[in-house]
């Protein structure tokens, strides 16, 4: 089967999603500024939701088309990609010095939410009740963020006069962004489904790799630009905020609209959700040791993602080599990474002023 048409559809879908996300953020920000909403609140809500909009529309369209595998794996894969690749590449651009209390509070929250989602899905289905609980959690988190917004007043300034627009222009950008997001989602889901059939792999694998990487492009670009401009808090906060919304909002909305609940692939429950939780757990020593994400740590994260992709490929192609690969990763690679992070934390504690 010719893979080129599917590849072109996937590429077109990613481009449309990227353009739609940019317009959606611009229009939403302009509209919020016209309504007099504080800039810090815009940053905590609109921007994070805007960068997560591609994941939302792709998963929602997949849910409506009975593509639960893509809907769930897209969220899980995006969260893994955001931590390992987005944060890793941003640290490779420039070491990220963490100063924001926002990140230090939201990382433990993200870890708790990730573990809760894993527990909710452990039965093989994310029910509508679980989805509703995630949406309630979204509301609680939003109220908490807005209630403590004054603590981050020194972090304002991500918006300038160029973000302002007339009501008509703001509405046009918002509407145009939504149209592109819907259209891009449909094209990407169609191309991904056809690619899975053509390559003889499951929709879950396509969702965990190609689709999740494509829908995470806004987060990648936003964090790379922020890192280059020296805005480490924005680069890291974008990853943490998007990962929170991916689970609370996207899985919540898809769970509610799924009716009987989202079916979750057993492989995702036993392999990919634990990876998602472990990558979130890895943020704690990275962010709490000297307040810096170094280039070495960023390189380790990117390297671990390469191993993750290799495991995905082996699981669908060279199944005979899969056990040996997992053995090397579990017995050699992961212990070395664990020793490195423990050493980093011990060194930080010894160097920390008494």
pLDDT at site 156: 47
pLDDT at site 274: 92
Q: Give the β-pairing of 262-263 and 96-97.
A: unpaired
Question: Per-residue pLDDT tens for 210-225?
Answer: 888 887 877 787 778 7
Q: Which residue has the higher pLDDT, 189 or 63?
A: 63
pLDDT at site 157: 46
pLDDT over 70 at 322, yes or no? no
H, E, C per residue of the chain = CCCHHHHHHHHHHHHHHHHHHHHHHHHHHHHHHHCCCCHHHHHHHHHHHHHHHHHHHHHHHHHHCCCHHHHHHHHHHHHHHHHHHHHHHHHHHCCEECCCHHHHHHHHHHHHHHHHHHHHHCCCEECHHHHHHHHHHHHHHHHHHHHCHHHHHHHCCCCCHHHCCCHHHHHHHHHHHHHHHHHHHHHHHHHHHHHHHHHCCCHHHHHHHHHHHHHCHHHHHHHHHHHHCCCHHHHHHHHHHHHHHHHHHHHHHHHHHCCCCEECCHHHHHHHHHHHHHHHHHHHHHHHCCCEECHHHHHHHHHHHHHHHHHHHHHHCCHHHHHHHHHHHHHHHHHHHHHHHHHHHHHHHHHCCC
pLDDT over 90 at 133, yes or no? yes
CA distance 242 to 353: 34
pLDDT over 70 at 60, yes or no? yes
pLDDT over 70 at 352, yes or no? no
Question: Per-residue pLDDT tens for 142-200?
Answer: 888 767 656 555 544 444 555 567 778 878 887 888 788 778 877 877 787 777 777 67
pTM comes to: 0.80
Tell me the average pLDDT across 260-280: 89
Of the listed ranges 53-62, 135-144, 151-160, 242-251, the one predicted with least confidence: 151-160
Confidence of residue 129 (pLDDT cuts 50, 70, 90): very high
pLDDT at site 107: 85
Of the listed ranges 67-71, 124-128, 241-245, the one predicted with least confidence: 67-71
Beta bridge partners of 126: 262
Q: Which two tokens stand for residue 353?
A: 């002023």
């Amino acid at each position: 089967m010719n893979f080129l048409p599917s590849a072109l559809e996937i590429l077109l879908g990613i481009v449309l999603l990227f353009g739609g996300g940019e317009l959606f953020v611009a229009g939403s920000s302009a509209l919020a500024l016209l309504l007099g909403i504080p800039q810090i609140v815009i940053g905590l809500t609109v921007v994070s939701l805007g960068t997560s909009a591609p994941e939302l529309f792709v998963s929602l369209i997949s849910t409506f088309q009975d593509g639960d595998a893509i809907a769930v794996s897209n969220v899980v894969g995006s969260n893994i990609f955001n931590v390992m690749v987005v944060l890793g590449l941003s640290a490779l651009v420039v070491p990220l010095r963490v100063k924001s209390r926002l990140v230090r509070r939201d990382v433990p929250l993200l870890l708790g939410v990730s573990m809760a989602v894993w527990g909710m899905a452990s039965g093989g289905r994310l029910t509508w009740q679980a989805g509703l609980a995630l949406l309630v959690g979204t509301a609680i988190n939003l109220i908490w963020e807005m209630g403590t917004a004054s603590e981050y007043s020194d972090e304002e300034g991500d918006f300038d006069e160029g973000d302002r627009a007339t009501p008509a222009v703001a509405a046009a950008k918002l509407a145009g962004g939504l149209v592109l997001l819907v259209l891009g989602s449909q094209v990407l889901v169609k191309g991904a489904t056809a690619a899975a059939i053509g390559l003889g792999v499951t929709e879950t694998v396509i969702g965990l790799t190609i689709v999740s990487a494509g829908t995470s492009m806004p987060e990648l670009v936003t964090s790379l630009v922020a890192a280059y401009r020296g805005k480490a808090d924005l680069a890291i906060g974008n990853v943490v905020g998007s990962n929170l919304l991916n689970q609370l909002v996207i899985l919540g909305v898809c769970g509610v609209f799924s009716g009987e609940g989202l079916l979750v692939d057993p492989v995702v429950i036993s392999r990919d959700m634990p990876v998602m939780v472990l990558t979130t757990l890895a943020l704690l020593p990275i962010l709490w040791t000297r307040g810096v994400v170094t280039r070495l740590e960023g390189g380790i994260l990117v390297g671990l993602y390469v191993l993750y992709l290799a495991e995905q490929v082996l699981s669908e192609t060279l199944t005979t080599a899969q056990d040996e690969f997992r053995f090397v990763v579990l017995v050699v690679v992961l212990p070395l990474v664990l020793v490195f992070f423990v050493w980093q934390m011990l060194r930080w504690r010894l160097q920390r002023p008494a």
